[in-house]
Structures are given as C-alpha cells and as structure tokens.
Amino acid sequence: MSFDNFDKYNNNFRRDESTDEKDENLFIGRNAVLELLKSTRETDKLYVQKGEREGSITLIVAKAVEKRIPVIEVDKRRLDGMSGGGVHQGVAAVASETAYAEVDDMLALAAERGEKPFIVICDSVNDPHNLGAIIRTAECAGAHGVIIPKRRSVSVNGTVAKASAGAVFHMLIARVSNLSSAIRFLKDNNVWVWALEAEGTPYYKSEFDCGCAFVLGGEGDGVSRLVKDSSDFVVSIPMFGRINSLNVSNAGAIVLFEAAKQRALKK
C-alpha cells in the first residue's frame, strides 16, 4: 500500500498536527513501533515523517490502517522534538499506559507452555538501554517474564522499548515493591534463584534445567546485599582479559542463553 492511498483506507488520516507528544507512552523507532502494532497493547495514533516511503514504514502504516489507528504525517523537526533527540527512524506511536503483570502471571505462563519457570530479575537497573537490552535477551531466550522494582529502576518507557527492539510488547514485566519478597514467592513455588555477581561460582558449573530465576544487578553497585542474601546461589562469569567486568546486559545474555541451552537439551 502506498502513502498516496492513505485517504482511501484511513478516514482519520491527517497531513499534520500541532500536538507534540512527550511522555513515556511515546514509542519511537521502526522495530519498536512495528512490534507495538503487532501486540495487543492499544495504540492511540501513529506519527510518520513526511517523505518517508521506504522499507518497513510501508508495513507499519499498513498495520496501523488495518487496526484503524489514526496516521499523522509530521515534518522531521516536529518528530525530532517529540522524540527528545532519540533516533526515531521516521516513525513514532503513542500507546496506552504500560500494563504491568504480576509475578504469578509468569508462573501461569510457564505452566501453560508446559515448561519450568524461567524468570529474570533486574535489581536497580537504571539505564533504559540496558533494561531494554535485557528484556530483548530474555524474550529471545524464552524467559517467561522480567521483574523490576518500583524504586531504583527505570520504568518501561519509549527508550526501553526501542532498546528492546519491541520485545517489551511480547514479554510479561512485573513491577514490584520489594524484590526480596518476590524472590521468596518464587522460591515458595519451586523456583531456584541465582544472583549474577563478580565473585561467585563460575556460571557454567550450575545446572539450570529447573525452575530458575536470575538476578542481574545495576550498573553501579551490582546486586544489593539483601537481594543477594535472598538468592539461593551466586554465580559469576570468569574474566580472562584486562577489563574485569561486562556490561550488565551482555553478562545477562551469556547466563540466560546458557540456561536456555541447558533447558533445551533436557526437553
């Protein structure tokens, strides 16, 4: 479908609009917006940069028209302003409020799939790019959900969604008041909890073919003492170079895919 036929397919199509959207419900970037439109989350409107006609923009617009979402053409300057300097790739969408899940929803999803629970816990991950990358990895590894704290953590906003390549729209995400309480709940439901830290047993010596959850610590202080004490095990990734640590999202990817591999081999 070409842009020239928008009016034919979409009665709500407008060539411009003066409103500048600036909130955590604005999502930018082609991958994030396309995954938003594929998900069940309600989308209020789609903004497309004037002159953008190539590649996945066509798919994005077609999906919006199919779902009867208003499509609004705006100039690049306005889209730049709405995006707060983020790389929008010529497209942005405004969606409904984030609907956070409950931890027991993750256990129910695992049971529905006939799998043992596989959960990621983020302890004070404040960088939205890191949180987005972790959620993307968790989704790709087959995790049933990601748990974040209400305090000392970035919320699921547009930057997180873009960094996740839209994985936030396909992943159960719970926002809890107390991580230690959430861990106790998981342990009461036969889920073993591993905290990933600089000092610990090498991760590849652990057996993850069980109900498992992995705690990934924030960029500065890592896993908090209380959360670490609440965990069953502490594991680490051995370093062989001069730099003694990995970015939290990279470290998480290594351990989560080790767990995914072990779980797949046991099927």
CA 131 to each of CA 1, 92, 143, 190: distance values in angstroms, whole numbers, following the listed order: 35, 20, 15, 26
pLDDT more than 70, % of the chain:
91
CB atoms within 10 A of CB 122: 27
- The pLDDT of residue 149 is 96
Confidence grade of residue 54 (pLDDT, cut at 50, 70, 90): confident
Higher per-residue confidence, 242 vs 22: 242
Give, for 260, the enclosing helix (H) or strand (E). Answer: helix 248-265
Span 4-32, average pLDDT: 59
- CA dist 46 and 57 (Å) reads 11
DSSP structure string for 80-130: HHHTTT---TTEEEEEPPP--B-HHHHHHHHHHHT---EEEEEES---HHH
What would the two tokens of residue 259 be?
């767990």
- CA dist 35 and 211 (Å) reads 28
Confidence grade of residue 23 (pLDDT, cut at 50, 70, 90): low
Strand stretches in the chain, DSSP E: 26-28, 43-49, 71-74, 91-95, 118-123, 145-149, 173-176, 192-202, 212-217, 233-236
What would the two tokens of residue 86 be?
């983020």
- Residue 194: pLDDT over 70: yes
- Residue 36: pLDDT over 60: yes
- Residue 124: pLDDT over 50: yes
CB 230 within 8 Å of CB 193: yes
- The pLDDT of residue 160 is 93
Q: Which of 2-6, 62-66, 182-186, 241-245 is the least confident region?
A: 2-6
What would the two tokens of residue 43 be?
């989308």
3-state helix, strand, coil in the chain (%, to 5): 40, 20, 40
pLDDT digits over 70-109, tens only? Answer: 999 999 888 988 888 788 989 999 988 888 999 999 999 9
Domains of the chain: 3-95 (3.30.1330.30), 103-265 (3.40.1280.10)
Crossing angle of helices 30-38 and 56-66, in 10° steps, is 30
Span 223-232, average pLDDT: 96
Confidence grade of residue 187 (pLDDT, cut at 50, 70, 90): very high
- pTM equals 0.83
pLDDT digits over 127-149, tens only? Answer: 999 999 999 999 999 999 999 99
- Residue 5: pLDDT over 50: no
- The pLDDT of residue 24 is 66
CB 52 within 8 Å of CB 90: yes
Q: Which of 6-15, 134-143, 199-208 is the least confident region?
A: 6-15
Span 165-186, average pLDDT: 96
pLDDT more than 90, % of the chain:
64
CB atoms within 10 A of CB 256: 24
- CA dist 234 and 199 (Å) reads 8
- The pLDDT of residue 56 is 86
- Residue 224: pLDDT over 70: yes
CB 13 within 8 Å of CB 68: no
